[in-house]
Amino acid sequence: MVTSFTVKSVATFIGKEKRLGRFRDLVSLSSMENQTKNKIYFHYNHTDSCNSARWTARESYQFMYERPWQDVLHFFSNVVNARLTLSTMFGTDNSPQTCIDVVDDDYKTSEVCDEKEERCGRWERVTFKIILSYSGYAFDGWQKQPGLNTVQEIVEKSLGRFVDDKKARLLKEKSKPLEGCAVVAGRTDKGVSAIRQVCSFYTWRKDVKPCDIEGEINSAAPGKLRVVLVSEVSRVFHPNFSAKWRRYLYIFPLNDQENEKQCCENEKEVESFSFARNCNEPSNKCVESSSSENVENLIIGNNKEFEAPTCFSVCRVNQLLRHLEGKLLSYKMFARDTKASRNIGPPTECFMYHARAAEARIPCSVHEEGRKVMCVELVANRFLRKMVRVLVATSIREAAAGAEEDALLKLMEATCRRATAPPAPPDGLCLVDVGYTDFNPKNCLIP
């Protein structure tokens, strides 16, 4: 039997198949949503005596973000534009950056002088070290991304004026914009400020002067991005690989009702709170819930019978951090959004030179004496992704819970990153400087 097909019948058949295919997609999508709703979530449950007094992820998030961050952003903006210095917080005039500048200048001058005699041929290129200062709130981070306002994009567009003829011709042939290439010491996330970020740029042009680069970048985003220093360095200089240490400063604003006396008295309440809640909760290592609603309730922790501590001691945070000094440790539990290759082994290890916390004050229009803040200063050979923000948030959480002094060291041995707190807001984080000589503890802001 021979069946004849017309154009109309074929079109009808194809239309039915398409509708059937869309129906299958909807069915599969619905089944995936049902699987997601019925997915079992596991939440890390600490087994020490402070387990019940420790904030949940939601409580920690709310405690960190419900702050007068606008005062910190305003202070960083003044520091970026050289109207204030970091030493203003501690009421001193000596800034550690002054000593670092002198050391770097000696290092740069000696290498450039030795190298000028060796330059020849196509390797006779000029490398510039550029120290930048920028406000984090004005940019979407350092790394260039399509459709976003990033520091790297602005800097490289400004450097396009100083590109040599050969590279300019190649960029034109590939229909690419005329931009320079800036290599940075460390990429900062969205909202993170920098006072002495270091990047480098090289060109084969001999007529480029440091003052030309400085003027071009300063005119790109006035008030938000500023060049601190431009100098000629050796061509072997690399902002990232040549660095020996990096210094970060986190400024955590304290609310008006928070003071050291309340925090010290609150430590006594932690013990009674922990004992009362432990009598009513099991001590499992993981808490399990079978639906998204239960998970949300678990994170929020709406337990009206008990009230978690809402204050912490700055001196306790300092004690927790000082246990990290002088040790090479794996900070994989304090990292976020890292590649799989950097989750195990030496790539997760960092050597902490300096880790301190202290009270300070920043200028504030509401308070004549200034806004009281907690400053956390961290200096290490390197830092993992979001490591500083997680470390600060976890230290505050552990201090509020009344944990032991070695609590951060014990968290290194955890098997799940839920053991640490969510990252603190990026508004309080600032990359202070990058060092290319041996670390000198005398240059620290917090002794």
Q: Which of 418, 222, 237, 412 is nearest to 331 (CA)?
A: 412
Cα-trace Rg, the chain = 27
Say whether 406 is catalytic: no
Q: Which of 267, 258, 255, 254 is nearest to 53 (CA)?
A: 267
- Cα separation, 349 vs 330, in Å, equals 4
DSSP for residue 40? P
Set 71, 101, 189, 427: catalytic member: 189
- Cα separation, 300 vs 62, in Å, equals 10
- Cα separation, 55 vs 313, in Å, equals 15
- Cα separation, 30 vs 292, in Å, equals 16
- Cα separation, 227 vs 214, in Å, equals 6
Q: By the 8 A CB rule, do 185 and 141 touch?
A: no
Question: Within 311-444, where are the H helices?
Answer: 314-322, 387-401, 407-411
3-state secondary structure of 402: coil
**Catalytic sites, residue numbers:** 189
